[in-house]
Amino acid sequence: MSNNFLRRVDLIIDKDCDFKQVLQSAYKRSNDEIINELLESGLKGRGGAGFPTALKWKFTSEQSDPEKYVVCNADEGEPGTFKDREILFQVPLKVFGGMAICAKVIGAKEGYIYLRGEYRFLLKELENQLEIFHSILDDLKIPFRVKIVMGSGAYICGEESALFESMEGDRGEPRNKPPYPTVSGFRKKPTVINNVETLVYSFMIFRYGARKFKELGTADSRGSKVFSISGDTPKPGIYELELGMTVDQFVQEFGDGDTKAVQVGGASGFCVPRKKFKDTIIGFEGVPTGGSMMLFNSSRSMYNVLHNYLEFFEEESCGQCTPCRVGCQQLKLGIEAVKRGEKHANYLDQLQKLAQTMKITAKCGLGQSVANSFFSIVENFREEMIY
Amino acid sequence: MAKQINLTIDGMPITVDEGTTILQAAKKLNIHIPTLCYHDDLCVAGNCRVCVVEMKGSRTLPASCAMPVAEGMEINTNTIKVRTARKHIIDLLLSEHNAKCTTCYKNGNCELQQLASEYKISEPMFIDLVPHKNYQMDAYSPSIIKDDSKCIRCQRCVRTCEELQHVSALGVAYKGDKMKISTFFENPMFEVVCTNCGQCVNRCPTGALVERNYVDEVWQAIFDPDKHVVVQTAPAVRVALGEALGLKPGEIVTGKMVTALKRLGFDSVLDTDFSADLTIMEEGFELLGRLKKALVDKDPNVKLPMATSCSPGWIKFIEHTYPEYLNNLSTCKSPQQMFGALAKTYYAQKRNIDPAKIVSVSIMPCTAKKFEADRPEMRSSGFKDVDYVLTTRELAIMIKQAGIEFSSLPESHYDSVMGASTGAAVIFGATGGVMEAALRTAYEVVTGREVPFNGLNITPVRGMEGVREAAIKIEGTKPEWKFLEGAELKTVVAHGLTNAKKVMDAVRDGKGSWHFIEIMACPGGCIGGGGQPIPTNEEIRRKRAEAIYREDAGMPIRKSHENPEVVAIYKEFLGEPNSHKSHELLHTHYKARQRY
């Protein structure tokens, strides 16, 4: 894996980075300067939703509550993504560094890493690295501590408010929003919650400056991004790539010559069929992604792909809201019934309407995004759903 | 004053306080938005999604129950987008729901059914999921039946059990398609910390949680010529029954109810008020006895504060949660059980009826009373003291089944013996009522004078505040109560088990220096009981409580010790309060239970 890692761009491995020096110089700057630098870079959240990181920090810093938190979302659960694991393995200090800079801006004394249950094997080394990190903080007289909280394997706990519930010892169920985490997050206190990769980039922006980051990518999607590439590809792995490429460019690089579809953004993302490769940009102006890129060649049944996703969602919905809990079951049973000929092909239209309702009425991002893969697969591969 | 927010709903401008939800704002404009998971008494869940509305500028349709208003918001509650979404959601719920409405106990009183009717759901839009589920039915409890196939996962019951009652017998288990409402290790409700209070039953929008009903058994007894069927009615039933029969909340229907019960065929229509007054005598003297032991005899084993024992939900709660305080409970049985024990002894003697032929029925605002009647201790007459307990709702069912037009019934009086009431007994139905009744009697016993409150109304113990403290100074005692001269009797009243916990924690931590504690398991006391008409909410509880105090004020006798039948029973049968015979029939003991 490491042979392929970060082939095209290297903003985050950067072996020459003097961690302590970057942290120290960031701490010497005013909060406004830090927020402006981050704003200037154009960095958007790397978890998939793409909220401008600087604004998240800014909104939280404006809250008057003296108790605030910074939380690193390391519950990497989206099918087909495995880049946060590698980042935590390769450059954990820089992740912590991003948290420390955020803590300074918002005024937090404590940070937490919510680590995916299946990543327990990383725990020991992360704790070793935390010790090093804390001793550096002590040297710099920075009053900040980071703790690790283990997840228990539920996909929904990657949703930020469900993650807080889980951290507080409750059942991992998304909360109503508003209020947003910037106002009421962990322990109902103002909280910045960022993805692992977002925190690394935040830190590295204070190493290189906003300009270097901003020079990469497009107007809507600045900088580079770490991709998890899997499926029918001769070179699966983790790559840091500049944002803004088309799916076609991506497939030329990573495809096996027979790619019929690319699932961008995992099970909750979009399926891009071959005919749309050239017109589809990977980024916030086209198909956004948290990093998962799955390639499918013509040997794959897109019915099976969709069925697999729906099985996943049916099980991983927290089950509290109606559209998501029941909708996922109906979508799965619905395509099965159509496939078996028990329901007319028109039933797919009914299911698409249902998916549309789920997209606009589900309580959280999980239920809302089931429609993404459902629409894009059913629309583009309708014949595979029926025959 | 809260910050004012301007918005429009369906084109109508409105200004409301900051923090108001869209649902609340719409209500002010008389716009009805359908809801399922929302309940006035509970925190907002926002999980059924039926109340979605369109919000200008928003990609999604927010749940109006959970979305606070914002300046300039433009809301539309009835658009094609909203209607389609709501219909989908109702359809989804129905696909998961065992919709055998005609054989459902809640048929006609089901919020999902009503919504399906309002939205004219005809053909099922989606695949029936019921055959794909392994739905369980828990029918082991004598109080509550839980049928998962009727559950819509709104979690009202879970929030009720956790927020109002601090019991958390019900919780959410599993996730995704397997998500369900369950108990600790999925044990039957009967075997977990459930107090049988029935607050969940009162809030369940469908037939997933219902009382175990004994309507058919009671009809059988009534029509059995060999049986003499006596019925007692609890104080809180008379101010709520009307709601289940088309009348407005807060109407007192005592006389109509008695007529209806006679028409149903009960051989004798009697009043739990009688045994409520008896409870005051027994419990009042028990308290005075404990105070004497503590103050005069300096007995280190005497347990104070003493707590009331009328509420079987509270009893089961303390048995599970604070078993080390069981000796602080009054040993008095609840009025229902005192009545039951006397029905098959005293009443049988007086009326010259073979107690084996007596069937004793009680009408209660309560589901926990069903469990209480089944307790093995409750057989001191030599028989099961109370054979069947019906909720207020079940009585309403019987009245409807009998074809009785309730609202036009004439009024009748209770039969005798054991049918005489006082104002003190009536107020048992509201939180603080037992305390007030006890003080009216105890103060007079000790001083020979009436309690020093205008019109006997001890207002400090009334109201809906969760925990209320009151102290009463005892002055001018009779010689035999001299040891209480100048003492300040400190009392506390709590309702809803979350508030009971606050009081008990204070007792445990030595923070409460009370002598007497009144606790009722249900919010508002029995008027808000789990067996009362649905819906029950804050406003309705308030109206029922007002009716209770109106009824009290209008009674010719308002002190338990002046109830002529109570005076008579001590003279003829029991001797004196806390006599040997009283202890045999009217007192009980408790059982420590596990905390899960």
Return the pLDDT at A14: 85
Q: Which of residues 51-80 of B touch A (CB under 8 A)?
A: 52, 59-61, 63, 66-68
Alpha helices in A108-172 (DSSP H): 123-139, 160-167
Name every chain B residue with its beta carbon within 8 A of the beta carbon of A321. 46-49
Alpha-carbon distance of B532 to B382, in angstroms, equals 31
- If you measure CA to CA, which chain A residue comes closest to B172? A171
CB contact under 8 A, A333 and B129: yes
Name every chain A residue with its beta carbon within 8 A of the beta carbon of B44. 176
Return the pLDDT at B121: 87
Return the pLDDT at A194: 98
Active-site residue set of B: 283, 286, 310, 330, 369, 372, 377, 526
Return the pLDDT at B554: 95
Name every chain A residue with its beta carbon within 8 A of the beta carbon of B148. none
Closest partner residue to B68 (CB to CB) among A178, A315, A337 is A178
Name every chain B residue with its beta carbon within 8 A of the beta carbon of A363. 46-47, 49, 63
Question: How far is C-alpha B102 from the chain's CA centre?
Answer: 28
Q: Which residues contact B232 (CB under 8 A, 6 or more apart)?
A: B270, B271, B272, B275, B336, B339, B343, B360, B361, B362, B363, B418
- Residue in B54, B66, B316, B407 with CA at minimum distance from that of residue A175: B66
Closest partner residue to A320 (CB to CB) among B47, B61, B67 is B47
Name every chain A residue with its beta carbon within 8 A of the beta carbon of B171. 171
CATH architecture of the domain A224-297 equals Roll (3.10)
- If you measure CA to CA, which chain B residue comes closest to A312? B176
Say how many residues make up chain B: 596
Domain boundaries, chain A: 19-214, 224-297, 302-386
- Residue in B434, B391, B444 with CA at minimum distance from that of residue B548: B434
ipTM: 0.94
Q: Which residues contact B472 (CB under 8 A, 6 or more apart)?
A: B439, B443, B451, B458, B488, B489, B491
CB contact under 8 A, B45 and A314: no
Return the pLDDT at A1: 35
Domains of chain B and any CATH numbers: 4-78 (3.10.20.740), 119-209 (3.30.70.20), 215-274+336-408 (3.40.50.1780), 280-332+430-586 (3.40.950.10)
What is the 8-class DSSP label of residue B470?
A: E
Instruction: Write out the two tokens for B476.
Output: 């001018």
Helix axes A53-61, A31-41, angle to 10 degrees: 160
- If you measure CA to CA, which chain B residue comes closest to A348? B126
- If you measure CA to CA, which chain B residue comes closest to A332? B127
Q: B183 CA to chain A: closest CA distance, Å?
A: 14
- If you measure CA to CA, which chain A residue comes closest to B52? A361
Low-confidence ranges of chain A (pLDDT < 70): 1-7
Q: Which of residues 85-104 of B touch A (CB under 8 A)?
A: 85, 88-89, 92-93, 95-96
Does A178 contact chain B (CB < 8 Å)? yes
Q: What share of chain A is helix, strand, coil (3-state, %, to 5)?
A: 50, 15, 35
Closest partner residue to A319 (CB to CB) among B60, B84, B179 is B179
Judge contact between B103 and B59, C-beta under 8 A. no
The position carrying tokens 């054989």 is: B103
Closest partner residue to A333 (CB to CB) among B60, B84, B127 is B127
Question: How far is C-alpha B119 from the chain's CA centre?
Answer: 33
Does A361 contact chain B (CB < 8 Å)? yes
Can you spell out the DSSP letters for B104-161?
-TTTTS-HHHHHHHHTT--S--S---GGGS---EE--SSSEEEEGGG-----HHHHII
Question: How far is C-alpha B226 from the chain's CA centre?
Answer: 33
Does A169 contact chain B (CB < 8 Å)? no
Name every chain B residue with its beta carbon within 8 A of the beta carbon of A161. none
Q: B177 CA to chain A: closest CA distance, Å?
A: 6
Judge contact between B156 and B42, C-beta under 8 A. yes
- Residue in A334, A349, A316, A329 with CA at minimum distance from that of residue A153: A316
Does A267 contact chain B (CB < 8 Å)? no
Q: B160 CA to chain A: closest CA distance, Å?
A: 16
Does B511 contact chain A (CB < 8 Å)? no
Q: What share of chain B is helix, strand, coil (3-state, %, to 5)?
A: 45, 15, 40
CB contact under 8 A, B48 and A361: no
Q: A293 CA to chain B: closest CA distance, Å?
A: 25
Alpha-carbon distance of A248 to A254, in angstroms, equals 10
Return the pLDDT at A5: 39
Q: Which of residues 182-241 of B touch A (CB under 8 A)?
A: none
Characterize the bridge pairing of strands B171-173 and B180-182.
antiparallel
Can you spell out the DSSP letters for B303-346?
--SEE----HHHHHHHHHH-GGGGGGB--BPPHHHHHHHHIIII
Residue A200 CA neighbour count, 13 Å, CB half: 29
b (16+ CB within 10 A) / e for B409-423: beebebbbbbbbbbb
Query: A302-386 — its CATH code?
Result: 1.20.1440.230
Low-confidence ranges of chain B (pLDDT < 50): none
What is the 8-class DSSP label of residue A62?
A: T
b (16+ CB within 10 A) / e for B148-165: bbbbbbbbbbbbbbbebb
Return the pLDDT at B445: 95
Return the pLDDT at A7: 46
Characterize the bridge pairing of strands A259-264 and A292-297.
antiparallel
* Fold (CATH) for A19-214: Rossmann fold (3.40.50)
Q: Which of residues 330-359 of A touch B (CB under 8 A)?
A: 330, 333-334, 337, 350, 353-354, 357, 359
CB contact under 8 A, B126 and A354: yes
B55 membership: H or E segment, kind and range: strand B54-55
Return the pLDDT at B526: 98
Alpha-carbon distance of B330 to A266, in angstroms, equals 63
CB contact under 8 A, B175 and A176: no
CB contact under 8 A, A323 and B49: yes
